[in-house]
Chain A
Amino acid sequence: MSQVSGFRFQVANPKPETQNPKLKTQNPKHKKMEKIKVIVGLGSCGIAAGAKKVFDKIKHIQETENLEFELKKTSCIGMCYREPLVEVIDETGSFMYGEIDEDKVVEIVEKHLKENKPIKDYVVKADTFKTIDNTFIDDQVKITLRNCGYIDPENIEEYEARDGYRAIKKIAGQNVSRLDVIQTIINSGLRGRGGGGFPTGLKWKFANNNKAEDKYIICNADEGDPGAFMDRSVLEGDPHSVIEGMIIGAYAIEATGGVIYCRAEYPLAIKRLEIAIVQARKNGYLGKNILGIHGFNFDLYIKEGAGAFVCGEETALIASVEGERGMPRKRPPFPAASGLWKQPTNINNVETLANIPWIIINSANAYAKYGTEKSKGTKVFALVGKIKRSGLAEVPMGMTIRDVIFKIGGGIQNDKKFKAVQMGGPSGGCIPEHLLDTIVDYDSVNATGAIMGSGGMVVMDEDTCMIDVAKFFLDFTQKESCGKCTFCRVGTKRMLEILTRITEGEGEDGDIEKLEELAYQIKDSSLCGLGQTAPNPVLTTIKYFRHEYEAHIYDKKCPAKVCKKLLTYEVDPEKCTGCTVCAINCPTKAIDGSRKEVHFIRQDDCIQCGSCFTKCKFDAIKVY
């Protein structure tokens, strides 16, 4: 992209790029068009929203009308709530069009490209004027996502043009020693972004200390947290930054082989990584004596995960790479001493690795400038759930959760009332409204009972039942428990049974205490992080939403009207028109009434399936 590249996120150290050679104009009528770039966001979510069709349409118009503008692809820029996104860059700057379909594209070509009149109504972000989406963008700082949405991820030259592979070239050119690289990462304060929060530099130091002929560096791209997708976005949008991070890590710890362990559910990410690896080999960043560093031989390959959440745990991941069931192993020995094939192994998460080249180029201090005392830099959050602007937001550590959700995320969908935000996925917890001013750093989030995790923020409103959410996560961890530790295997199952009873109106006095007792036993007696954290969603919901548990257990009511077995359906005689739709669709024939007469639900026969409520077109079924 050009120096007038759109989004004025605070991209640290932006570097002007060279203009592509101009094409010869064939159509004098649209002479100026050769200077225009049209860029379509083709990440997984963009494609799902219809971006591929939009891209094809533009290409079709370009070919049939013989128009000379430059058409390019990029990946997700984080504004998922506005997908599909089409950016037009002309002489005056960038115009990002949001929620574009095949019809709107025709308008954009006609008005903006041909007549040079941008359609302001469709613009969500521009260089020259503000839009309502500026609040999403203005407070973000893009380091991890510095290239996502700016470059064509399948073109190594575009990565190189934005400081790509400059970090490893700097190390090679200035003979930076291995220990100096490690010290820079230690000084930057970078902590593992996969959830653990362990200082990355220290991890490298341990791996460097253990001498062996073969050493490995593994990129953990097994992003299993339901509700988090920043790793996918980085792999799809900027795969070279992760590869460069691994090369620098390999240099630092003297690794000879690398593995990217990626979920099979991310086919596009795998495809783009494969392309990137081939390009990196071709340009001499992988192979023997890399960039002239004598004896630095390193190459890597992709290992597709086969679908097991527990493989996010380091030792389970190693077992999986070795081709076995992904079950955690006892530590020590830690992977840094004996990991893959019993050799010293270092494992880092995608987001962590993507930060490394930036830190090497811009210095540790530049990175540590952002953040709090113990949590430096920025963190990418996936804003999802009942939030207006769902997408990816990268913010400096230390921002309040309130600002992330309400300022950047725009608040709650349909202006409903905020109830909780779930952070950290199945290992995390629910943070209630009175703790919204908690700042995002590892220690502050931990203090609430949730964890930073990989950065998923699932926002819940008044219509979300907290017991149902706790049950959802327990159901997940119970299925994903590898079965090695009895407390995790059986304990999560027992907890799930109790939660299921509560949501079905069979809750008993003492259930809450039983849940708590089981929760602490599981936490204390499990080998790996999965079991140690599995009870967190239950514990935090009991801590902050005990009244909801009590309403379910003692009053047999679900305040959020989610748990079907606890609901009562009744016909509102004022609104009922006697259309008979509810009676026809009732599976137990529990609704009486003839045509054009007010209907009546016999509560004894009602099974609370809710079909009358969904089918009624007159809003005449009351639920309470």
Chain B
Amino acid sequence: MRITRLNTDIIEIEQEKADLLSIDPLIEKYRNKKGNMIPILQGIQEIFGYIPRDAFDKVSDETGLELSDMYGVATFYSQFRLNPVGKHIIKVCHGTACHVQNANALTDALQDALKINDGETTEDGLFTLESVACLGCCSLAPVMMIGEETYGKLTGDKAKKIIRDIKRQEAN
């Protein structure tokens, strides 16, 4: 039970109301299918980057899935997020191999560079910092993943440089 993730404060950011029409095909695809709850939630997260509160309501109304069941599932699995995330999600691997190769120093350096804590998003909405279990690139430990890109054999300074490079690209 990941008690830390039971934090239910939905951050009230002035954001465009999520366009829920975009999940209609998803609901159609999985309507009345056995075991459809996780694929629906995964699909919603793929569209929005997280699961908006309104989406839960809509899925419940249209498919009959219970809100409480969905909330139970969404908070059980580490993949699901209930809050919006930054444009780039930085996943720092904290598997065993990365741990013994000092992954903590990476997280420390990134927290320092981004001025946020683990699990938080920067004010400009560019980066979200996450600790994850093994990414399966143990031979390159310590490792982090930004988007689909994996970076290996890192040090705190190398990680900071990668962040600087992304920031520079974003500025252009």
Contacts of A225 in B (CB 8 A): 134
Task: Known contacts A81-B139, A232-B136, A265-B136; decide if A323 and B37 are in contact (CB<8 Å).
Answer: yes
Which A residues lie within 8 Å of B96 (CB)?
226-227, 384-385, 422, 425, 456, 458, 472-473
Contacts of B41 in A (CB 8 A): 306
* Interface SS, A side: mixed
- How far is A323 from B72 in the complex, measured between Cα atoms in Å? 11
Q: Is the CB of B152 within 8 A of A45?
A: yes
Residue-by-residue, is B118-145 near A (CB-CB < 8 Å gives 1, otherwise 0)?
0000000000000011111111110100
Interface residues on B, range: 35 or more
B34 lies within 8 A of chain A by Cβ = yes
Which listed residue (A81, A223, A422) contacts B136, Cβ 8 A?
Answer: A223
Contact code string A384-420 (vs B, CB < 8 Å = 1, else 0): 1110001100000000000000000000000000000
Q: Measured between alpha carbons, how far is A341 from B97 in the docked complex, in Å?
A: 37
Q: How far is the CA of A615 from the CA of B151 in the complex (A)?
A: 24
- The closest CB in chain A to the CB of B134 belongs to A226
Complex contacts, B136 vs chain A, CB 8 Å: 44-45, 223, 229, 232, 265-266
Interface membership of A264, Cβ < 8 A: yes
Nearest B residue to A463 via CB reads B100
CB distance from B39 to the nearest CB of A (A): 8
B172 within 8 Å of A (CB atoms): no
A71 on interface, CB distance cutoff 8 Å: no
Known: A48-B152, A326-B76. A458 touches B35 (CB 8 A): no
Chain A contact patch, size range: 35 or more
Q: Does A113 count as interface, using CB distance less than 8 angstroms?
A: no
Interface residues in A243-270 (C-beta closer than 8 Å to B): 264-267
Is there an interface contact between A227 and B73, defined as CB atoms closer than 8 Å?
no
B22 close to chain A: CB less than 8 A: no
Within 8 A of A (CB), among B28-70: 34-39, 41-42, 69
Chain A residue at smallest Cβ distance from B95: A226
Complex Cα spacing A83 to B134, Å: 19
Q: Would you call B132 and A48 a contact (CB within 8 A)?
A: no
The answer to whether B140 and A48 touch across the interface, beta carbons within 8 angstroms, is: yes
Q: Say whether B73 contacts A48, CB under 8 Å.
A: no
A87 at interface by CB-CB < 8 Å: no
A578 in contact (CB, < 8 A): no
Give the residues in chain A near B148, CB-CB below 8 Å.
Answer: 267
Q: B residues engaging A (CB < 8 A)?
A: 1-2, 34-39, 41-42, 69, 72-73, 76-80, 94-101, 132-141, 143, 148, 150-152
The 10 closest A-B pairs by CB, nearest first: A226-B95, A80-B139, A306-B77, A48-B150, A227-B96, A483-B1, A307-B78, A390-B139, A226-B134, A323-B35
Residues of A within 8 A of B (CB): 44-45, 47-49, 80-81, 83, 223-229, 232, 264-267, 304, 306-309, 320-326, 341, 382-386, 390-391, 422, 425, 456, 458, 460, 464, 469, 472-473, 476, 479, 481-483, 489
25 A-B contacts, Cβ less than 8 Å apart? Answer: A44-B136, A45-B136, A45-B139, A47-B150, A48-B137, A48-B140, A48-B150, A83-B140, A226-B94, A226-B96, A226-B98, A227-B97, A265-B133, A265-B134, A304-B39, A304-B42, A306-B78, A324-B73, A384-B138, A390-B138, A391-B139, A458-B97, A469-B100, A481-B1, A482-B76
